[in-house]
């Protein structure tokens, strides 16, 4: 649902890939209707700054953390920013193209799920890989801008 709202064109590419996978592997994938069919799971790990080398540069990775931790900071070097990340928060990032690091975890007992799509699946199954970034909601931008009129800051 999040991906369908965030980037509908990316979801169309994922649907095409999933159909190609179902043709080859049968109903095995029918049990998992998710678009992001790859999953990385991390338990109580402190990681260094990195990019996600198995993911798509123009794809989305959805990160969700659970556990008894009090929060951490997601650092994005290229954006020169840090964002607090609390249990059950959901964050969408372009993990292959953006250096990131989860740091300053407090307490213990954390588990992180990262849904993504393996970049090599597209070529291996002869499905066109998404290659261009599109503006969010480009078809509806004028309607969205006029839906909520701007309010003066003074």
Structural domain total, the chain: 1
Residue 151: inside a domain, yes or no? Answer: no
CATH code of 74's domain:
3.60.130.30
Provide the b/e sequence for 52-75 (b: ≥16 CB within 10 Å). Answer: beebbbbbbbbbebebebeebebb
Q: The whole model's pTM is what? A: 0.75
Q: Please report, in tens digits, the pLDDT of each residue of the chain (154 residues total).
A: 888 888 888 888 888 888 888 887 776 666 667 788 888 888 877 778 988 888 888 888 999 988 888 878 899 998 899 999 888 899 999 888 889 998 888 777 788 899 888 887 777 777 776 765 655 556 666 776 777 777 776 6
Q: Is 147 within the bounds of a domain?
A: no
Q: What domain range includes position 67?
A: 2-128
How far does CA 92 lie from the centroid of its chain? 4
Can you name the residues that pair with 75 across neighbouring β-strands?
82, 101
Whose CA is closest to 79, among 101, 106, 105, 57?
Answer: 101
């Amino acid at each position: 649902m999040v991906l369908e709202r965030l980037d509908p064109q990316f979801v169309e590419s994922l649907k095409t890939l999933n159909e190609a996978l179902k043709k080859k592997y049968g109903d095995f994938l029918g049990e998992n209707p998710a678009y992001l069919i790859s999953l990385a799971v991390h338990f109580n790990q402190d990681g260094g700054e990195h990019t996600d080398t198995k993911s798509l540069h123009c794809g989305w990775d959805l990160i969700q953390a659970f556990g008894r931790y009090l929060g951490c900071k997601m650092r994005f070097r290229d954006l020169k920013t840090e964002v607090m990340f609390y249990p059950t928060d959901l964050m969408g990032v372009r993990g292959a193209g953006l250096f990131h690091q989860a740091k300053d975890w407090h307490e213990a007992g954390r588990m992180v799920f990262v849904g993504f799509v393996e970049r090599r699946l597209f070529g291996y199954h002869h499905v066109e890989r998404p290659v261009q970034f599109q503006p969010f909601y480009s078809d509806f931008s004028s309607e969205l801008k006029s839906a909520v009129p701007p309010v003066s800051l003074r």
